[in-house]
Each structure stands twice: as C-alpha cells, then as structure tokens.
Structure 1
Amino acid sequence: MPHPVAKRSAVPPGTTLRVEVDGVEVLLCNVDGEIYAVEDLCTHDGGPLDQGELQGCRIMCPRHGALFDVTSGRALTLPAVVPLPTYEVRIEGDDIFVEV
C-alpha cells in the first residue's frame, strides 16, 4: 500500500506543494478545494514549476511565462506546447496519495 505524500491541510486552496513520489518531482495544486497533481517540470525547458504562481487552475512557469492547466496538464500558452504529465490523486481523511 502506498504511503501518503502530504497532508491535505498542507495545501490550502490556491496554493501548491512540491513532493517527491517514487523519484518523480510532483506539484500538488489546490484548485477550489480539489487537489490535482502534475509533474513539477515545465515541458518547454525542464525548469521547476513550484516557484510559479497558481492562478485559479493555471500555473505559470517562472522562467518564460508558459501557462498550464493543472486540472488537465494542457499547455495553454507558448512557449510550451507539450502538456504536463498528470497523476491520479486519492484523498483519505487528511492524507494525500498520488499514483505515478
């Protein structure tokens, strides 16, 4: 059975939290109370997204300004064109589990 990667209370609405799951850097994103998980790696240049700003369901890469939809992984603006990998999230009580 997988171990929890974070507590839900550690990711308030409108915030993100970077965690490692099975060697993969994952960004947990709380969008209106729902937790989503995407790879913490901009598909444009490989930079981390955890320093970017979460705006609703969109995360902005701090390096070149590419926007991604964290609910689907979709690249929304150039220079990114490749979607982010997304991961299944399961919540049990206050525990967040992510399947990579």
Structure 2
Amino acid sequence: MTDQWIDVCAVDDIDDEDVIRFDHGQHTYAVYRSADSEFFATAGLCTHESIHLADGLVMEHVIECPKHNGRFDYRSGKALGAPVCVNLKTYEVRVEAGRVLLAITV
C-alpha cells in the first residue's frame, strides 16, 4: 500500500480554528486549520453515531460533534470523553503552493 496525495482545497478556504468536510470516493474526511495555521485531517464521521464532524465546533485543538457533544483532539484523533470512546483515524496533511493536500492509502 502507498500514500496518494489528494488536493483538498486552497489554504485560504479554511479559516483559522475551523473545519471543512472533504469527500473522496466513498470516504468522508474532516480537514482542520488550527489557530496557528497548521493543518490536520481525521475521519469525517464521529465514532459514536456517524455524524459529520465538519458541522461541529472547533475550539483550540478539539472538534466537538454537533449531535451529542463528543469531543476529539483532532491532532491525534484521541477521544476525550463520553459519549465517544473510540478514537478517530488521522491522516497526514501537507501544504504545497498554497494548496492543502491529504494523504490517503491506496
């Protein structure tokens, strides 16, 4: 298996401390921009009830699910307490020429 880099969006398409949804194939991802303009990516659905995390609230390095307020550290995918107990899968992200790229395994 190898990583394939997929173009997600322009750097400026994501505000600081925000998240966007990115769909590719049959998968949904959440792509985050931290307050210090670092980019991160996780699986796009909450591990509790498969709700889109891009509809949630970003606070510092935490994404809060909009349905039951489950919280994850989007840098590591770590579940931070009930009702979520399963970590999110994380993905490598890089920026090239003003574009945000996501690594997916193919």
TM-score range relative to shorter protein: over 0.9
Tell me which of 18, 21, 28 is aligned to 1:18.
21
CA distance in 2, matches of 1:81, 1:46: 13
What RMSD, in angstroms, separates the aligned Cα atoms of the two structures?
Answer: 1.3
Tell me which of 77, 80, 88 is aligned to 1:76.
80
Name the counterpart of 1:47.
51
Deviation at 1:92, TM superposition (A): 0.2
Deviation at 1:2, TM superposition (A): 4.0
Name the counterpart of 1:57.
61
Contact kept, 8 Å, 1:21 with 1:98, in 2: the verdict is no
Paired amino acid for 1:37: A
Gaps of 5+ in 1: none
Provide the identity percentage: 30
Q: Which has the higher contact order (CA 8 A, sep 6+)?
A: 2
TM-score, length of structure 2 as denominator length: 0.88
TM-score, length of structure 1 as denominator length: 0.92
CA 1:65–1:99: 2 relative to 1, 3 Å: same
- Runs (4+) off by over 4 Å: none
**SS of structure 1 residue aligned to 2:101:** strand
